[in-house]
Amino acid sequence: MAKKVILDLDTGIDDALALAYTLGSPELELIGVTATYGNVLVETGARNDLALLELFGRADVPVFIGEPHALAKDSFEVLEISAFIHGNNGIGEAVVPDAQAAPQEQGAVDFLIESVKKYGDELVIIPTGAMTNIATAIKKDPTFAENAHIVFMGGALTVPGNVSPWAEANINQDPEGADIMVRNSNDITMIGLDVTLQTLLTYEETKQWRALGTPAGTFLADATDYYIKAYDTTAPHLGGCGLHDPLAVGVAVDPSLVTTLPINLKVDTEGATRGRTIGDETRLNDPVKNAKVAVAVDVERFLAEFMERIGRVARGL
């Protein structure tokens, strides 16, 4: 039986790749997409999710709008660096028409809570943007953190951050929210920069999607080329773009793609290290560790899985 999945996305070019990875994985059944903010405003993210679901032939998947800003703030503006990496529209300035479907009336937080109650261990939640929807669900329903299974993209344990020497972008959007999530969730796996900056894509791979001549293949190639070009400027030493969000989906399908460290995590919310993901010194000697942090990845196997799954979507499902 396929594992049920909710993607919590700030779509976002690598979020779009995570969406395609999910749809191209027969082991997963996508029951909904919840929109968060980060690379884009929450409304733009939801628009992109609906448009891409239609482009990928899955307009039947419902999209739910989430919280518009961090717990400790009352508004959100897209950072200049996010717009540079993902384009002003979040999808590398690629033109994808608006979908016919509209977002659901139910909000993302209520959908998340309801789904965990309904599906329990059959469901995995994959957050790949600001963690505010998850933190709000935890605050609203005390049973959520106990029963949800979460594999999130964010954080950096053994490497520096990508928005500051300590902070990774998704955690940096809402450190208080991320802290609530990592401290309280019973089952949580962190897929951070430690591993996602080892899984890189180049123009060699995107060429294969463009050569298919399909609308989905052309979009995936155009948007990803925009992303690779941004990485050429911001991180030329890498020689490609980081497959951050798709790796979280890859691990949800097959946890053996990464090696994990059991740990009790926290997020620094004060001072210069605000946004840092690190072990909680007050729970160091607690024999029960609630989190697993990916510290090594089978790069070759993941890239093969990635190309196979995105290839299915690029060819037209």
Residues that bind ligand BDR (CB under 6 A): 12, 14-15, 38-39, 82, 128, 153, 162, 168-170, 244-245
What is the smallest separation between the CB atom of 244 and ligand BDR, expressed in angstroms?
Answer: 4
- Interface residue with Ca ion among 5, 6, 12, 199 (CB under 5 A) is 12
Which one of 225, 244, 245, 298 is the catalytic residue? 244
Q: Which stretch binds Ca ion (CB under 5 A): 9-17, 41-49, 137-145, 273-281?
A: 9-17
294 forms beta bridges with 260
Cα–Cα distance list, 268 to 71, 150, 218, 290 (Å): 15, 20, 41, 17
Q: Which does 151 bind (CB under 5 to 8 A by kind): Ca ion, ligand BDR, none?
A: none
Q: Which of residues 205-264 bind Ca ion (CB under 5 A)?
A: 245
Measured from the CB atom, is 24 or 90 closer to ligand BDR?
Answer: 90
Measured from the CB atom, is 160 or 239 closer to ligand BDR?
Answer: 160
Q: Which does 169 bind (CB under 5 to 8 A by kind): ligand BDR, Ca ion, none?
A: ligand BDR
What is the smallest separation between the CB atom of 176 and Ca ion, expressed in angstroms?
Answer: 19
237 is a catalytic site residue: no
| Omega prior to 12 cis, within 30 of 0 | yes
Helix (H) or strand (E) run with residue 256 in it = none
- How would you classify residue 291: left for phi > 0, otherwise alpha for psi between -120 and 50, otherwise beta? beta
What is the smallest separation between the CB atom of 162 and ligand BDR, expressed in angstroms?
Answer: 5
What is the smallest separation between the CB atom of 286 and ligand BDR, expressed in angstroms?
Answer: 28
Q: Which does 36 bind (CB under 5 to 8 A by kind): ligand BDR, Ca ion, none?
A: none
What is the smallest separation between the CB atom of 121 and ligand BDR, expressed in angstroms?
Answer: 26
Measured from the CB atom, is 113 or 169 closer to ligand BDR?
Answer: 169
Q: Rule CB under 5 A: say whether 128 interacts with Ca ion.
A: yes
Q: Which of residues 33-92 bind Ca ion (CB under 5 A)?
A: none
- Residue 258 three-state SS: strand
Cα torsion 62, 68, 70, 73 to 10°: value is -170
Q: Where are the alpha helices (DSSP H) in the chain?
A: 13-23, 42-55, 80-86, 108-119, 132-140, 144-147, 169-173, 175-184, 193-196, 203-210, 215-234, 244-253, 299-315
Measured from the CB atom, is 62 or 90 closer to ligand BDR?
Answer: 90
Neighbouring residues of 273: CB distance < 8 A, sequence distance ≥ 6: 166, 167
Measured from the CB atom, is 13 or 65 closer to ligand BDR?
Answer: 13
Residue 188 — φ and ψ, nearest 5°?
Answer: -140, 130
225 is a catalytic site residue: no
Neighbours of 23 (CB within 10 A): 23
279 forms beta bridges with 265
What is the smallest separation between the CB atom of 46 and Ca ion, expressed in angstroms?
Answer: 14
**Cα separation of 146 and 60, whole Å?**
30
Q: Rule CB under 5 A: say whether 168 interacts with Ca ion.
A: no
Measured from the CB atom, is 113 or 251 closer to ligand BDR?
Answer: 251
Which one of 10, 15, 49, 179 is the catalytic residue? 10
Going by C-alpha positions, the residue among 136, 88, 83 that lies closest to residue 113 is: 136
**Cα separation of 179 and 291, whole Å?**
12
Catalytic residues: 10, 244
